[in-house]
Structure 1
Amino acid sequence: MAGAKGMKVVTHSGTFHADDVFAFSILREALGPFEFARTRDSALIESADLVFDVGGTYDVARGRYDHHMRDLPRRPDGTPYSSVGLIWRDFGRNALPNFIQGIDEDLLDAIWQDIDTGFILAIDQADNGVASISQGHLSLLIEAFNPTWASDQSYDDAFLEAADFARDILVRACRQAHAEAQAQSLVLAAARKARDPRVIVLNRKLPWEKAVFEGGLRDLLFIIYPNEDATAWYCRTIPPEPNSFGQRLSLPEAWRGLQEEEFSRVAGIDDGVFCHPSGFICGARSQESAVRLAEKAIAGGP
């Protein structure tokens, strides 16, 4: 449905929820300007080109994206879709270049998937009552834009205000997903260049865990990277699984808790900085020494 000028898009009137608000925000970026109405008038719904979250029909070929029926559309894992899940599925990829200026085209699918599973899915679950909603949940924040009984604001105006807020959230979520996908690409590229698959050297500090576990870097034991101003280089152990405090290979016991000259002497380098008492990270003032620490740890230290 590219080229949306003159297209009529409809959703329901009255109280709104996160799924219809976010769906609208996505469609604005994917389609560009279109005629929009919030209504429950069956004639207006029938004449629209695209209808979401109302109408009682799910039919992609006809541009119908409701999910309030007995035989409702579901994700491959059985989770019911809400309107935003359906709209993101079919229009999210077209919206992404407007959420992220200069997006890497080769990362588009990865970013779309990250947003779908890490952001959109939670709204689907909340809207369909298949997950509990705690205070402060994104869905409740969006619902807070609905006018109170004492307000003079119209529901339509409040909806558009909520949609602008939702767009800002989507932009930031997409930027984060883009940065994470870029980091994953850089880490995997560094792994391909590594002389030893057990040690990766990064030229800057990057989030690396996702690349390690989703990229299949099973042999990796240590990752080397600088601090923000490159005045120190870290040698970091790899955990056995995501978010674990364990280590595939711990740093030598003899190094742990030592600093500066004492650490340098025991580790056999000239510019050591420290070794954490738990043996998961140590540091030196040069990349060469940080790599040497990894090599010594693999060889059994000290």
Structure 2
Amino acid sequence: MAGVAEKMKVVTHSGQFHADDVFAFAVLQTALGDIDLVRSRDAQVIAQADLVFDVGGIYDADRRRYDHHMRDLPRRPDGTPYSSVGLIWRDFGRAALPGLVPGIGDEAIGAVWQTIDEELILLIDQADNGIGPAGPGHLALLIEAFNPAWDSLQTYDEAFREAAETAKGILSRACRQALASERAAAMVLAAAKQSPDRRIIVLDRKLPWEKAVYEGNLNEALFVIYPSEDRGAWYCRAIPPEPSSFGQRLSLPEAWRGLQDKAFSEAAGITDGVFCHPSGFICGARSRESAIGLAAQAIALAQG
């Protein structure tokens, strides 16, 4: 009878934990399956482990030693110090993604990995190394709140496992959002390519379009047209000059701003107008054709 294969023995430090070791374990558990985690600072236990992270004083990826608490600590290409989760995500994140996002295609793994590294993992690296803000509400502090209070009967190991389950849920949700963002960007780029006017992007459903516009170099795009989710209307949205800007590449006409229904329809020369925002960044109509017409008219008026 064949013997049962031994589980991979993984070691991290005992006692109080932080976001980096908790998230690192969540990634490893997803990437490697049923691993045997031991939380210890005993040198002999550490030496006998198959993989060690956040303890041990050694960084050597070839030997699967992933500590970062030393003078010559591992750094990202831009010089930012890694924490244990940054190192583990770098080497095991891609392998974890199919478990975090069931059904993810091979073609999307690289982009999703990159997004999570930049928008979640890097922030933990920075906070753990004291080079980034970690004020109230920061993810790192929320995970640290799982450490037992002084009068708790829960052990640190029990609390660590509980924190890791939460971390895995956060990570899985973030990965699903990143994948959805990639899919949306592809759909927006396709719509822009099909548009007879490169200044107007028409979407058949509401999608996050910013990533495609700014990262896809849609520099000529001025307006995005899309249906509302619950109002039976179509929106004409002016595109800001850059992400998170309150400005517009081209604002809607001054004469339309602040008007609603009949007054807006008369000013814009359509029959089914709904509104135009006072700041001139968005307006709406009851039909797709009218919303596209509003964008075209705004462009024509700006050109004189």
Distance 2:11 2:233 in 1: 57
Aligned partner of 1:217 in structure 2 is 218
Aligned partner of 1:298 in structure 2 is 299
Paired residue type of 2:16? T
Instruction: Please give the per-residue CA displacement for 1:14-63, whole angstroms capped at 9, x wherever unaligned.
Output: 11111101100010101101122111121221121111001111111111
Aligned partner of 1:116 in structure 2 is 117
Aligned partner of 1:204 in structure 2 is 205
SS in 2 for 1:225: strand
Instruction: Please give the per-residue CA displacement for 1:254-297, whole angstroms capped at 9, x wherever unaligned.
Output: 22222222222221222111111221111111111111111111
Instruction: Please give the per-residue CA displacement for 1:196-240, whole angstroms capped at 9, x wherever unaligned.
Output: 110000011111112111111100011100001471101111111
Is the CA contact (8 Å cut-off) linking 1:5 and 1:32 kept in structure 2?
Answer: no
Is the CA contact (8 Å cut-off) linking 1:5 and 1:33 kept in structure 2?
Answer: no
TM-score between both structures, scaled by the size of structure 1 = 0.95
* Counterpart mapping for 1:47-196 below 5 A: 47-196=48-197
SS in 2 for 1:37: strand
Distance 1:290 1:141 in 2: 44
Paired residue type of 1:155? Y
Distance 1:295 1:80, change over 3 A: same
SS in 2 for 1:122: helix
Distance 1:104 1:259 in 2: 45
TM-score between both structures, scaled by the size of structure 2 = 0.94
Distance 1:55 1:126 in 2: 21
* Deviation at residue 135 of structure 1 after TM alignment: 1.9
Distance 2:55 2:179 in 1: 32
SS in 2 for 1:135: coil
Aligned identity (percent) is: 68
* Deviation at residue 8 of structure 1 after TM alignment: 1.2
Aligned partner of 1:22 in structure 2 is 23
Paired residue type of 1:74? R
Paired residue type of 1:255? W
* Deviation at residue 5 of structure 1 after TM alignment: 5.8
Aligned partner of 2:287 in structure 1 is 286
SS in 2 for 1:54: coil
Paired residue type of 1:237? A
Instruction: Please give the per-residue CA displacement for 1:89-134, whole angstroms capped at 9, x wherever unaligned.
Output: 1111111111112224322212111111111111111111112321
Give 4+ residue runs of structure 1 displaced > 3 Å after superposition.
none
Distance 2:281 2:145 in 1: 44
SS in 2 for 1:44: helix
| RMSD, matched Cα | 1.6
SS in 1 for 2:226: strand
SS in 2 for 1:274: strand
Paired residue type of 1:165? T
Paired residue type of 1:280? F
SS in 2 for 1:121: helix
Aligned partner of 2:275 in structure 1 is 274
SS in 2 for 1:300: helix
* Deviation at residue 148 of structure 1 after TM alignment: 2.4
Paired residue type of 2:60? D
Structure 1, 132-141 or 235-244: larger mean CA deviation: 132-141
SS in 2 for 1:273: strand
Please, which runs of 5 or more residues in structure 1 have no aligned partner? none
In the comparison of the two structures, how many residue pairs are matched? 299
Aligned partner of 1:235 in structure 2 is 236
SS in 2 for 1:217: coil
Paired residue type of 2:144? E
